[in-house]
């Protein structure tokens, strides 16, 4: 099958979170399974663009409402990522350094989608599957079916994968004119609560909708930022497929970002060496258990409860533990986490920002990873942590619930709690401190976690079978 993935992110070209990881890996494993998967994404001005060689694949022009624009599609020359990678350049809209966070994000991603449609419309053939990811590309299924210009693609099946339903790309109906001429009777396929809602439109129009874990799909029918009824209504075409992880990028025995490599066999030694280096870097104590958090500092991740939980832990269990935080997001949470360094210098450190290298070193050197998330569609961090023998402390929600079994349950290897509160997290931390003293049990759980197979090889077939059913 020929599958085209359309996405705002793809690791290592541009990544802001789990979406990038998934789109950087899934197509590679689809190609390895004998299919022809490719990715098209915006041409941001990132390091990857300047460090690689490109061919011009296509030059076109089209309109977004009354606004005429020209676009260029370039293709990475050597298939470095294991699949064909195409970037769309639109001057004035996509030529930015960051993926998101601009006032005109709606126009940016609309123009990207229109350019991709226009490009595919010029192909001599049609792909077997058009696979869209999140709201930035969720208007494509509508355009394929109801824009007169793109009739050629109206019989091609489209799939929408929802990595995060909190963000829906909602815009006022004044932007409706930007979409290339469409069948006005189909107004309802774009509308949700009197707004133009790309994610809702994608759910209505795609042939199949997937979420990145089964538990998340179940939750969306009760909490989905206003789309609950839609998920209930469309449940027949929705399915959950748990994300995999790229075992080649995330492998403690070969990871190029970390200094001391290890396998499950020598996990105790390997983690000790990595922890030593990590603690030395941030003035922490390598003899104490090291608790870490990596991620976006936003409400979904419950980053706001971290300061209280950490301060309570340090107050209740003085001199017994260390904390290290890596993340960025809500400025108020950033300031609080940063400010705490003054009072807790030798047991706490926060790095505010995004740092891929450091994240790998933290997974390798930490003892426990905290994920108190309020919402977690799949969560990759806990899977990476387990692969590196780091025990996850997670709230029982979404994909965390599907991947972590509490150590108190048969065959368990992690710590789960029910509420995104400082109290629940504190309790989980105290259980972890108890485990840290039982070195034998800790080592056997580390080995157990490292043996769990969350690879894409194990999950790629679920996507392929779903595509086949649509042919």
Nearest residue to 260 (alpha-carbon basis) of 247, 277, 244, 248:
277
Centre a 10 Å sphere on the Cβ of residue 310 and count the other Cβ atoms it contains.
26
At its nearest, how many Å lie between ligand ADP and the CB of residue 337?
12
Does position 380 bind ligand ADP by CB under 6 A?
A: yes
Q: Does 295 bind ligand ADP (CB under 6 A)?
A: yes
Judged by beta carbon, residue 388 or residue 463, the one nearer ligand ADP is 388
The residue to which tokens 């123009």 are assigned: 111
Looking at beta carbons only, is 179 or 326 nearer to ligand ADP?
A: 326
Residue among 379, 389, 392, 414 that touches ligand ADP (CB under 6 A): 379
Considering only CA atoms, which of 163, 111, 165, 119 is closest in space to residue 139? Answer: 111
Total residues contacting ligand ADP by CB under 6 A comes to 19
Q: CB of 327: closest distance to ligand ADP in angstroms? A: 5
- Please identify which residue in the block is written with the tokens 């025995």: 253
The answer to the question of residue 308 lying near ligand ADP (CB under 6 A) is no
Q: Which is nearer to ligand ADP, 157 or 392 (CB)?
A: 392
Q: Hey, is 457 helix, strand or coil?
A: helix
Exactly one of 175, 296, 419, 427 binds ligand ADP (CB under 6 A); that residue is: 296
Identity of the residue, 186 or 281, whose beta carbon is nearer to ligand ADP in the bound complex? 281
Nearer to ligand ADP, 17 or 127 (CB): 17
Q: For residue 315, how far is the Cα from the chain centroid?
A: 34
CB of 381 to ligand ADP, least distance (A): 4
Q: Is 294 in the site for ligand ADP (CB under 6 A)?
A: yes
- Choice between 164 and 201, CB closer to ligand ADP: 164
Q: Which is nearer to ligand ADP, 225 or 328 (CB)?
A: 328
What's the min distance (Å) between Cβ of 470 and ligand ADP? Answer: 26
Which residue from 3, 17, 448, 455 is in contact with ligand ADP, where contact means CB under 6 A? 17
> Which member of 9, 21, 134, 273 binds ligand ADP (CB under 6 A)?
21
Shortest distance (Å) from residue 328 CB to ligand ADP? 5
Report how far residue 17's alpha carbon sits from residue 371's, in angstroms, rounded to the nearest whole number. Answer: 15
| 62/161 with CB nearer ligand ADP | 161
Only segment of 14-22, 65-73, 341-349, 462-470 that touches ligand ADP (CB under 6 A): 14-22
Q: Shortest gap between Cβ of 164 and ligand ADP (angstroms)?
A: 6
User: 9 and 99 in contact (C-beta within 8 Å)?
Assistant: yes
- Token look-up 């022009």 returns 61
Site residues for ligand ADP, 151-190, by CB under 6 A, read: 164
Least Cα distance to 371 among 330, 407, 327 occurs for 327
Residue nearest to ligand ADP (CB): 18
DSSP, collapsed to helix, strand or coil, labels residue 54 as strand
Q: Which is nearer to ligand ADP, 143 or 385 (CB)?
A: 385
Is position 392 an interface residue for ligand ADP (rule: CB under 6 A)? no
Answer yes or no whether residue 244 interacts with ligand ADP by CB under 6 A: no
Please report, as residue ranges, which positions from 324 to 363 form the binding site for ligand ADP (by CB under 6 A): 326-328, 354-356, 359
Nearest distance from residue 364's CB to ligand ADP, in Å? 12
CB of 250 to ligand ADP, least distance (A): 9
Cα→Cα distances 303→307, 354, 375, 393, Å: 8, 15, 11, 14
Strand partners, 343: none
**Residue from 322, 381, 403, 455 binding ligand ADP (CB under 6 A):** 381
Q: Which is nearer to ligand ADP, 144 or 358 (CB)?
A: 358
Comparing CA positions, the residue from 401, 353, 355 lying closest to residue 375 is 401
Nearer to ligand ADP, 223 or 296 (CB): 296
* Closest among 33, 84, 22, 83 to 461, alpha carbons compared: 33
Rounded to 10 degrees, the C-alpha dihedral 98/104/107/113 comes to 20
Q: Minimum CB separation from ligand ADP for residue 376, in Å?
A: 7
Q: Which residues bind ligand ADP (CB under 6 A)?
A: 17-19, 21, 164, 294-296, 326-328, 354-356, 359, 378-381
């Amino acid at each position: 099958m020929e599958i085209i993935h359309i996405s705002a992110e793809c690791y290592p070209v541009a990544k802001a979170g789990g979406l990038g990881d998934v789109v950087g890996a899934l197509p590679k494993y689809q190609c390895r399974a004998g299919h022809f998967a490719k990715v098209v994404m915006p041409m941001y001005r990132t390091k990857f663009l300047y460090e690689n060689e490109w061919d011009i694949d296509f030059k076109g022009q089209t309109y977004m409402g009354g606004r005429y624009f020209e676009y260029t599609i370039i293709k990475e020359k050597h298939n470095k990522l294991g699949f064909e990678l195409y970037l769309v350049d639109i001057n004035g809209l996509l030529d930015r350094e960051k993926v998101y966070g601009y006032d005109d994000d709606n126009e940016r991603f609309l123009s990207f989608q229109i350019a991709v449609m226009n490009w595919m419309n010029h192909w001599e053939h049609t792909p077997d599957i058009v696979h869209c990811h999140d709201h930035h590309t969720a208007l494509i299924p509508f355009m394929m079916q109801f824009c007169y210009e793109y009739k050629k693609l109206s019989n091609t099946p489209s799939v929408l994968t929802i990595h995060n339903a909190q963000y829906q790309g909602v815009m006022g109906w004044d932007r409706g004119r930007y979409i290339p001429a469409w069948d006005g009777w189909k107004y309802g396929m774009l509308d949700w609560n009197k707004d133009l809602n790309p994610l809702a439109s994608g759910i209505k129009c795609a042939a199949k909708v997937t979420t990145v874990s089964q538990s998340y799909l179940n939750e969306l029918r009760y909490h989905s930022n206003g789309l609950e009824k839609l998920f209930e209504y469309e449940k027949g075409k929705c399915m959950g497929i748990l994300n995999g992880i790229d075992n080649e990028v995330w492998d403690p025995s070969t990871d190029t970002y970390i200094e001391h490599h290890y396998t499950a066999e020598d996990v105790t030694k390997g983690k000790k060496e990595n922890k030593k280096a990590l603690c030395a870097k941030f003035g922490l104590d390598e003899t104490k258990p090291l608790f870490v958090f990596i991620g976006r500092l936003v409400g979904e991740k419950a980053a706001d409860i971290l300061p209280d939980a950490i301060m309570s832990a340090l107050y209740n269990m003085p001199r017994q533990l260390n904390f290290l935080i890596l993340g960025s997001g809500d400025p108020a949470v950033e300031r609080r986490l940063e400010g705490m360094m003054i009072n807790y210098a030798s047991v706490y450190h926060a790095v505010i920002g995004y740092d891929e290298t450091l994240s790998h070193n933290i997974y390798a050197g930490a003892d426990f990873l905290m994920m108190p998330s309020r919402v977690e569609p799949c969560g990759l961090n806990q899977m990476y942590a387990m692969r590196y023998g780091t025990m996850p402390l997670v709230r029982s929600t979404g994909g965390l619930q599907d991947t972590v079994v509490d150590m108190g349950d048969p065959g368990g290897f992690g710590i789960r709690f029910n509420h995104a509160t400082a109290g629940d997290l504190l309790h989980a931390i105290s259980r972890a401190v108890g485990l840290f003293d039982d070195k034998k049990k800790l080592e056997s759980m580390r080995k157990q976690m490292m043996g769990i197979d969350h690879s894409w090889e194990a999950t790629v077939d679920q996507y392929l079978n779903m595509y086949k059913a649509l042919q």
